[in-house]
Amino acid sequence: MPNPVEENCRVILVDEKGNRILLHAIDEVQKIKGLGVYNPKELIGKDYWESIDISGKKFMILSPSIFDKISAIQRKAQIILPKDGMFIIFYCDVKSGDMVVEGGAGSGALTILLANSVRPNGKVISYEKREDFMRIAKRNVESAGLGDYVEFRRGDVTSTIDETGIDAVVLDIPNPWDAVNNALSGLKLGGHLACYSPTMNQVEKTVNEMRKFGLEWIKTLETMQREMVVGEKGMRPSFDALGHTGYVTFGRKIR
Ligand SMILES: C[S@@+](CC[C@H](N)C(=O)[O-])C[C@H]1O[C@@H](n2cnc3c(N)ncnc32)[C@H](O)[C@@H]1O
């Protein structure tokens, strides 16, 4: 744990109700939701785990976890939730030093998870065809302190993927089947392809295309997440269970 807060650090302020605010100790005076007008530079020199008072409210200073970084992003496009993102990282064996190509960047939520997994020596190349989404994704990735590990490219993955020797390609676009051939050309031998799709029709088309181009070990999986509410007199599943979000189809370039 770094100690104390240095200039350029990301910190989380947690209030007494557990609400979390992600700040960058470099920004200028600004209006911050939950804080009012504040200059994050005032945090420089303070200790992590220290309690501070801002406008009569108490906050504790913490170093942000990957969960905090994802929770704090500005969402424009629908994001891949951590339950699916971590699953993609596991099945695609994404690790430090890897080169991962992503399409599209959307809000950058998956980009943050991928960048956190490939750092410090790897790279995420994130294709996005819309300028406005690319700007938001870039800002979110930079706010998470992971900008050094991501290159954004304005482009359409169904037309081209420029990179070769890629460890994993992850597609979260409406028509991933149209990018399977490009993904396969860029993947190194043994590389992984993952396609996230909300509907079964999309999965069918993607699997057919993966088979056509000779990808192997094809598998489509869905994960569900239920929190348990543990009371003094008993336990039950939360009513807010995360049911269906999307299916993830995996394939591997074996030959
Ligand atoms: C659902 S969002 C991706 C969300 C992202 N995975 C996240 O976790 O924040 C889909 C994004 O793909 C982009 N997109 C759609 N088709 C594309 C293509 N062929 N090439 C590149 N980007 C594309 C859209 O503009 C949109 O921003």
d(CA 237, CA 36): 36
Q: Does the pLDDT at position 3 exceed 80?
A: no
Assess contact for 158 and 182: CB atoms under 8 A: yes
Mean pLDDT of 186-205: 98
For the chain, what is the mean pLDDT? Answer: 94
How far is the CA of 49 from the CAs of 2, 21, 43, 56, 67, in angstroms?
A: 11, 15, 12, 18, 18
Q: What residue type is 78 in one-letter code? A: Q
How many Cβ atoms from other residues are within 10 Å of residue 102's Cβ? 30
Task: Answer yes or no: is the C-beta of 157 below 6 A from any ligand 1 atom.
Answer: yes
Atom of ligand 1 nearest to the CA of 127: 21
Kindly report, residue by residue over 53-88, the tens digit of the pLDDT: 998 899 999 999 999 899 888 898 899 999 999 999
Q: Write out the E strands in 25-96.
A: 30-32, 36-38, 51-54, 57-62
- Which H or E run includes 128? strand 123-128
Atom of ligand 1 nearest to the CA of 73: 9
Q: Write out the E strands in 131-225.
A: 150-154, 166-171, 187-197, 216-221
Mean pLDDT of 24-50: 89
Per-residue pLDDT at 1: 56
d(CA 79, CA 175): 16
Task: Answer yes or no: is the C-beta of 133 below 6 A from any ligand 1 atom.
Answer: yes
Half-sphere exposure of 175 (CA within 13 A, CB side): 8
Between the CA of 63 and the centroid of ligand 1 the distance, in Å, is: 30
Ligand 1, atom 2: nearest CA belongs to which residue? Answer: 106
Q: Does the pLDDT at position 205 exceed 90?
A: yes
- Which H or E run includes 99? strand 99-103
The pTM is what?
0.92
d(CA 172, CA 234): 40
Kindly report, residue by residue over 226-240, the tens digit of the pLDDT: 999 999 999 999 988
- Among the listed residues 100, 88, 92, 97, the one whose alpha carbon sits nearest the alpha carbon of residue 126: 100
Establish whether the linkage from the previous residue to 4 is cis, with ω within 30° of 0.
yes
